[in-house]
Amino acid sequence: MSAAPEALPRRTALSESLLVLGVSLGASALWSALSLARKLTAQGGLSGQVTAMNQSVTPDRPWLDLTHQIVGVGLALVPVVLALHLLARQHADPLRLIGLDRRAPLRDLGQGLALAATIGIPGLGLYLVARALDLNTTIAASDLSAAWWAIPVLVLAAGQNALLEEVIMLGYLFTRWREAGWSPVVIVVVSALVRGSYHLYQGLGGFVGNVAMGLLLGAVYLRVRRVAPMFIAHWVIDVVAFVGYALLATRLTWLG
């Protein structure tokens, strides 16, 4: 039998996790905080401002725009590869370690869809309430040109968001912070706060909603020890948000 992999020293585990955050979602949190500060100090209130996501870069040149979108998705996934590479120094199969393998596809799918419904439906209600209270910007979840590739790119972007966030925030950070000696409760709470902070660009409602999502996903991850259901849930939520907005925004005026 092979020897069990040794955990990183506490200080190394913590410093490595901070560096990974610094080149990924931690940096996004800082930019999001600055974005919120800019919006809070602007005239018109939060609800009168629009936060555009999935924007076209060159709408008059669709093929170049498509190239920009694909490159953006690819580069955004580099921190995922980095995190898995760092875990692989100790673990022969990091995907199995964090539960992103194919051992239980049907169970992962069922749990993921259940989580998506549990999070997505109340999340929409929270967004509408927060916007009505002027605590959130108006979210334009898709601003791509009406090209043939718009919907596939939105599905791809949703998958990129889900993979980046769940691998980093759950699979990687939970492993490293456990090695750093943190308790499960502290890990779940800090991870949720980080998750909320890189959504501050949406407004205070986005922060609260994503902290709640982080607490739920963190608690479930501690129980099932698999990232796959959380990845599926996040992907489904974002696909519904991105594609739904692209298809229905002009028909459902309350969306934006």
Q: Looking at the domain assignment, is residue 12 inside a domain?
A: no
At 191-246, the pLDDT tens digits run 999 999 999 999 999 999 999 999 999 999 999 999 999 999 999 999 999 999 98
CB within 8 A of 54, min separation 6: which ones? 141, 142, 143, 144, 153, 154, 157, 242
243: tokens are 């594609």
Stretches where the chain sits below pLDDT 70 are 1-5, 250, 252-256
Q: Looking at the domain assignment, is residue 45 inside a domain?
A: no
Number of domains composing the chain: 1
176: closest CA among 46, 34, 12?
A: 12
Q: Looking at the domain assignment, is residue 44 inside a domain?
A: no
User: Which domain does 118 fall in, by range?
Assistant: 21-33+61-255
pTM of the full structure = 0.94
Q: Looking at the domain assignment, is residue 92 inside a domain?
A: yes
Q: Looking at the domain assignment, is residue 72 inside a domain?
A: yes
Q: What is the pLDDT at residue 3?
A: 52
Q: What percent of the chain has pLDDT over 90?
A: 88
Q: Looking at the domain assignment, is residue 50 inside a domain?
A: no
Q: What is the pLDDT at residue 253?
A: 62
Q: Looking at the domain assignment, is residue 55 inside a domain?
A: no
Q: What is the pLDDT at residue 252?
A: 65
Q: What is the pLDDT at residue 1?
A: 43
Q: Looking at the domain assignment, is residue 8 inside a domain?
A: no
DSSP H/E element including 139: strand 138-140
Torsion of CA 103, 104, 106, 108, to 10 degrees: -120
Q: What is the pLDDT at residue 214?
A: 98
CB 164 within 8 A of CB 211: no
DSSP tag of 93 = -
At 98-117, the pLDDT tens digits run 999 999 999 999 999 999 99
Q: What is the pLDDT at residue 43?
A: 87
